[in-house]
Chain A
Amino acid sequence: MSALTLTLSQLPSHPLDCSGLLPASLSGLSARALKGLLLGGGPEPVKLGEFFDIDGKCDGSSLTIINRGARLDYLGAALTAGEIHVRGGAGRFAARGMRGGLLSVRGGALDYLASGMRGGVVEVIGNVGDFCAAALPNEPFGLNGGLVVVNGDTGDRLADRQRRGVVFVSGSTGALAGSRMFAGTVVVLGDSGPGAGIALRRGTLLLCGKTAELPATFASSGVIELPFIGLLARKLAQAHKRCRPLLTLGPRFERLCGDLGHGGAGEILLPAATGRGR
């Protein structure tokens, strides 16, 4: 029997809460039990079988979901092990609270990707909405561990209140990237919007493209040769092939210390060629 594949067969009129669709939860369930599985998100719970064609059986290690235009929220939420492969994009809150395993999404994701995530790997091929790896308004921390790889652009407030882990964005990012970060690392290969690093306490923002206006509360240490860049590039390239472009970076970066209004123990690193040198 082949691995379990859920293919969207009918477009729901409302978002579906897919937090229950985890390899471990679906392991060993019969086709009938799978069809009767209830999904929230709308005014009434709906049965999985009403919207998805079910093919194969889940062995607890892998699950494939083929989306065709629906907003599937909470994909991979609280995932601890195994792999979820999504084709056609994810809705909001994908990988929320994830602790391990792999969530692979082709087709982009909406807001709050990897919020409260603590471990594992999330890879998204496509653009991602606002508050990627960020905290919900009622939560103290955003990303709290693991690796988030976005092969595309992200919206505003990337990694807001991030505490641990690494976010890698191959494209550009919107305004206020790394705002209120406690620690961790954010790498943006493309351009970044205004206000990056505002209220940053600790942590590293590596901004390789053009940067819009940065907060005045960052002070330049000048251009410095940092072997850490080589270490970061190699470790991320080992962790995920999409991070390999980092290997082409040289060691010379302008280091901006800040946010000086919040202790100044964080940093924004800009390649020497694009550094502002103020």
Chain B
Amino acid sequence: MKRNGVLIEDTFAEAFPMRAARLVITAIDETWAMHAARALTGFATSVIACGCEAGIERTLRPTETPDGRPGVAVLVFAMSLKALADQVLKRVGQCVMTTPTAACYSGLQGAERAPMGKSLRFFGDGWQLSKKLGGERFWRVPVMHGEFICQDYAGVQKAVGGGNFLVLARTPREGLDACERAIKAMSRVRDVIMPFPGGVVGSGSKVGSKYKFLPASTNQRFCPTLKGAVANDLTPEVGSVLEIVIDGLTPEAIREATRVGIDACCRLGPRKGILAISAGNYGGKLGPFHFHLRELMQ
């Protein structure tokens, strides 16, 4: 199957179940809400070593936020409710509460919950105020910039992590041009994040390693420098392989983001250095969610 001359390989992306929370961060203006969101989603590219995967979902208009101020929605993913709760609490406490004028609310009505204000309220040292409005509890913590408002809990829901596709390009520059276009298009899809720097992974991994202490290592099958040295599917023209990883609240959201992203890459075609699209999987052993590229692009 080819799209605009770009080969879509007959393979699938393999994803696995996660837990996710959406946090709505507001502030006096979008700039400061974005400062808080960027701090919160920093060092959150992969659960391999970051504890969670997080990213900015979209900016929110004042009419879309609980307190009528500009805001940013971020999604945080982790492998378990316990791990997610730990990360949400630390990141909201250290990154949102410390941002001048910022407030933090839950953006999901999940069956499970991760504490936020319930624990952070103690920063108020007894001066914190609780308000229950519309069945939800909010904490008003007096801080030096004025008042930090934080919802009691963040709703948590089941989600999907590790959706992906690979862009096989002639050069790194051409691969990045395609990925930048893909990320721009994918950022318009709701309920997903691309947690890596700029949304793009330059060092995609496989599960396991020859070293027993290492849970993940380089995916040699797609390393251009190892062509000839290992079993490798890359054609001689491929000089760079970039991966876009997608975490989503639902499989449908990942499917749509993948479709939109691949479509944006393929628009450049082989003349602009985009040779093929592939995906990372582990033979179906890693997770129950399989996104077959050719089905998606039909």
The interface of chain A, by Cβ under 8 A from chain B, is: 164-166, 183, 185, 202, 204, 224-228, 230-236, 238-239, 247, 265, 267
Contacts and interface: CB of A to CB of B under 8 A. Distances in A.
B147 A239 contact: no
Contact of A233 (B68, B101, B140): B68
Contact of B131 (A204, A225, A227, A233): A204
A265 B127 CA distance: 7
- Nearest 3 pairs of A and B residues by beta carbon: A235-B133, A230-B68, A230-B67
B200 interface: no
B36 to A, nearest CB: 13
Given A224-B146, A227-B69, A227-B101, A232 B134 contact: no
Interface in B28-81: 28, 66-69
Interface in B156-196: none
Given A227-B101, A227-B103, A232 B146 contact: no
Contact of B149 (A202, A227, A265, A267): A227
Given A224-B146, A228-B140, A183 B26 contact: no
Contacts of A235: 66, 133-134, 136
B72 to A, nearest CB: 15
Given A235-B133, A238-B134, A265-B127, A228 B149 contact: yes
Contact of B134 (A202, A230, A239, A267): A239
B138 interface: yes
Contacts of B138: 228, 231
A226 B138 CA distance: 14
B146 A204 contact: no
Contacts, number: 59
B205 interface: no
Given A234-B67, A239-B133, 17 more contacts: A164-B132, A165-B132, A166-B133, A183-B130, A185-B131, A225-B146, A226-B147, A227-B147, A228-B131, A231-B68, A232-B133, A234-B68, A235-B133, A235-B136, A238-B134, A265-B127, A267-B129
A225 B67 CA distance: 13
A265 to B, nearest CB: 7
A68 B149 CA distance: 47
Contacts of A239: 133-134
A267 B149 CA distance: 16
A232 B127 contact: no
Interface in B134-151: 134, 136, 138, 140, 146-147, 149
Given A226-B146, A227-B67, A227-B101, A232 B26 contact: no
19 contacts: A164-B132, A204-B129, A204-B131, A224-B147, A225-B28, A226-B147, A227-B67, A227-B101, A227-B103, A227-B147, A230-B67, A230-B68, A230-B69, A231-B68, A231-B103, A234-B68, A235-B134, A239-B134, A247-B68
A228 B147 contact: yes
B149 A231 contact: yes
Nearest to A235: B133
Contacts of B136: 235
A202 B129 contact: yes
Interface string B220-248: 00000000000000000000000000000
B263 to A, nearest CB: 38
Contacts of A224: 146-147
Contacts of A265: 126-127, 129
Contacts of B126: 265
Interface string B3-29: 000000000000000000000001010
B252 to A, nearest CB: 28
A267 B130 CA distance: 12
Contacts of A232: 131, 133
Given A232-B133, A234-B66, A227 B127 contact: no
